[in-house]
Chains A and B, each alone.
Chain A
Amino acid sequence: MAETELKSARFRREREGDWRRLETLLQRLEREPVSRLSDEDLLAIPVLYRATLSALSVARETSLDRSLLEYLEGLSARAYFLVYGARSNLGARLVRFFVHDWPAAARALWRETLLSAAVLVGGAAVAAWLYAVDADWYFAFVPRQYAQGRDPTATASALRDILYSHAHGGMLQVFAAFLFTHNAEIAVLAFALGFAFGVPTALLVFANGCTLGAMLALYASHGLLLPLGGWLMIHGVTELSATVLAGAAGFRIGWSLAFPGERSRLDAAAVAGRQASTLMAGVLLMLLVAGGLEGIGRQVITSDLARYAIAGLSALGWAVYLYGPRRSRP
C-alpha cells in the first residue's frame, strides 16, 4: 500500500483553497457594494465559479463524501445566483429603458392598447348616453364625495368657476403628490388584475371611462364642453394614456394566461409579465408627470389656450416617443 490517502480526499485537498476563496468573495459581495472589490477579485469570480461547477461534476462521479458534495452543490448554486443574478449597471439599465425597452414594450402591446382604449371610450360613451337619458345616472359614475358640487343640480356659472379657480394655495405640491400616488396604485391594480384573465382590468378601465363620460356629458349639457376640455386634457392626455397602457399591460397578462399558444401556460405568463411590467414602469412615470400637471399646472395655468397647447404638445410628445419611427438597434 504505497498510497493510503483516498483519491477523493486528495481531490478535495488540492482544490479546497479555491472554494474557500470563492466563498469569501461571495460573502463580501452579498454585504458590500461591488465597487469595494478589486478588479482582480471580480475577474476571479466567474473563473472560480466554473472551476467549482466542474469540481462538483467530478465529485459527483468520484466522491462519496456527502458533506463535500452538499457543500459544492450549495457553493455552486450561490455563485450561480450571483454570476447570473440581477446585477447590472443601474445607469446603463436606465438609459436602455428609456431609449429602447419602454417604447418597444408599448409597441409590442399595440393590440392590447387598442382594446384598452376602446374599452375606455366605450365606458365614456355609455355613461354619456345614460346621462342623456336620465341625469340621475350621473351619481352612479361619480360618487358624491368626489363630485364636490359638480353635479346636474349645479348652475352653469358654478360649474365654470370650478374650472378656473386658483385653489389650494401652498398645498399644490401635496395635491400633486396625492394624485400621483392615488393614480399609480390604481394603475398597478389594473395591471395586477390582469391575472384574473383581464376581466377585472376591463371593468376598471370601463369604470374610469364612465366617470370621464359622465363629466363630459354634464358640462356639455351646460355648453361648457370647450373649457372642460382644456381643464381635463392638460393632464388628461398623459393620465388617460397611462390608464390605457396600464389596462393594456393587464390584458397582455390575462391573454397569455387564457391563450398561452405554443408555450406552456407558465412560460407564456412569464414572458408576458416581464414585457407588461416594463410598460408599467413607464406608466408610473407618465402618472408622475400627469400628477404634476394636474396638481400644479392646472391650478396655475387658467388660460384655455395655454391648457390646450400643453395638452396638444404632450399628446404629440408621447405619440412620437412611444410609436415614432426610430433606427433599429445594432
Chain B
Amino acid sequence: MSAVGASVINPERQRFARELVTPEGVALRITLATASERAGAFLLDAVIILGVLVAATALCAWVASATHGRALSLIGVIWLLGFFLLRNGWFLGFELGARAATPGKRVFGLRVAARHGGRLTADALFARNAMREIEVFLPLTFLVVNAGGVDAVMAALGLLWTGVFALFPLFNRDRLRAGDVVAGTWVVRDPRRALATDLARTDLARDPRFAFDSGQVQAYGVAELQVLEDVLRGQDRRAVRLVAERIRTRIGWLQGPEETDRAFLDAYYSALRARLEAGLLQGRRRRDKHDAA
C-alpha cells in the first residue's frame, strides 16, 4: 500500500501549503501559487493587455480617419488616458472584484489574499500593482536599450540590478514579489473543490458476507484509510486489485465465491472508517498501522 500512497501525496503541494487563521480562530489550509503559475498568469494578462491596446489603437485610428481628423485631439486624449488606465488599472481593477483575480489568474485558478488573514484593502492592491513599475517596466527599459560601449555596460548592469526585482519571487519561500512584500499580500490557489459522494455504505455494513471481526478492522490506521479512499475514488482497476489482495493477505480474509475486489474494498473501507471514527469520538486517533490500536 505504501507504493500507492507515495504517488498520491504530492510533495509540491506540501511545500506550498500554508495556514491562514481566520478572525474566528479557525486555521484554514491554503496552497500558495507556484512561481511558474504566477509567471504564466502574468504573461497571459500581458498578452490580453497588448491585444486590447492594439485593438483600441486600431479603433482610434479608424475613427480618426472616418472623421477626417476633426476629432483628433479628443481621440488623442482618450488614447493617452486609456493607455495609462490599461497599464496601471488592469490589475488593480480586477483584483478589487469579488474574485480578487485578473483574467490571467482566473485561468490558472489563483487569487490574491491578505497575508495575515483580515481584509484585502484597496491601498494594499494599489501598492502591490504600483511595484510592477520596477518589476516589469524598468527591466524592460534596460532590455530594449540599443547601445554600444559604455552605455551597453551600463544597460547590462541596469538589467542585472532590476533583475533582482523581477526575480524576487524565486528567492523567498512564499513566492512573494516586491509588490506582495509592500502590500502584505500573497497569491494563493483558489480553493475550489467538488464534494464527492460519501464512500461509506450502510447497506454493506449489514451484509453478512462482509462480517469483519475486530482484529481485522484494527489492521490499519488513518493514513491507510485515506489511501484506500483515493484508490476507491480513482479509476485504476489494477490498483483496486492489488490493494484488495494486500488487504486480504494482511487480515487473513478468504475471498468468497461471488466476491469482487471492488465490493470487498467498499465494505472494508466502511468497516475500517466506522472503527477509526469510533476511536476519534473517544479521543483516540490512530495515525497509521504502526500506531498502537
Contacts and interface: CB of A to CB of B under 8 A. Distances in A.
B51 interface: no
A208 B205 CA distance: 80
Q: Which residue, B24, B81, B83, B137, has most C-beta atoms of chain A within 10 A?
A: B24
A107 interface: no
B150 interface: no
Nearest to B226: A66
Interface in A46-89: 50, 53, 56-57, 61-68, 70-71, 73-78, 80-82, 84-88
B30 interface: yes
Given A63-B277, A73-B191, A173 B74 contact: yes
Contacts of A81: 100, 111, 113, 120
A6 B98 contact: no
Contacts of A16: 195
A4 B205 contact: yes
A136 interface: no
Contacts of B113: 81
A276 interface: yes
Nearest to A62: B280
Contacts of A266: 115, 176, 181, 184
B80 A273 contact: no
A299 interface: no
Q: Give the bracket for the number of chain A residues in contact with chain B.
A: 35 or more
Contact of B124 (A34, A82, A193, A274): A274
A174 B76 contact: yes
B178 A73 contact: no
B277 A7 contact: yes
Interface in A266-294: 266-267, 269-278, 280-281
A253 B165 CA distance: 15
Contacts of B184: 266-267, 269-271, 273-274
A14 interface: no
Given A71-B195, A274-B124, A85 B119 contact: yes
Given A5-B202, A270-B115, A64 B276 contact: yes
B277 A8 contact: yes
Interface stretch (B55-63, B128-136, B250-258): B128-136
A87 B98 contact: yes
A91 interface: no
Nearest to A8: B277
B6 interface: no
A111 interface: no
A86 B119 contact: yes
A217 B88 CA distance: 36
A9 B73 CA distance: 69
B130 A280 contact: yes
B81 A277 contact: no
B146 to A, nearest CB: 17
Interface of A: 1, 4-9, 12, 16, 19-20, 29-30, 34, 50, 53, 56-57, 61-68, 70-71, 73-78, 80-82, 84-88, 93, 101, 170-174, 176-178, 180-181, 184-185, 188-189, 191-193, 195-196, 253, 257, 266-267, 269-278, 280-281
Q: Which 3 A-B pairs have the closest CB atoms?
A: A270-B184, A273-B182, A174-B76
Given A6-B202, A78-B190, 16 more contacts: A12-B198, A62-B281, A64-B276, A80-B22, A84-B23, A101-B123, A171-B73, A173-B73, A174-B73, A189-B138, A191-B133, A192-B131, A195-B181, A195-B182, A196-B134, A257-B181
25 contacts: A9-B202, A16-B195, A34-B98, A56-B26, A66-B226, A67-B229, A68-B198, A70-B193, A74-B192, A77-B30, A84-B118, A85-B120, A86-B97, A101-B123, A173-B73, A180-B81, A184-B88, A192-B131, A192-B132, A196-B134, A267-B116, A269-B182, A273-B184, A274-B127, A278-B126
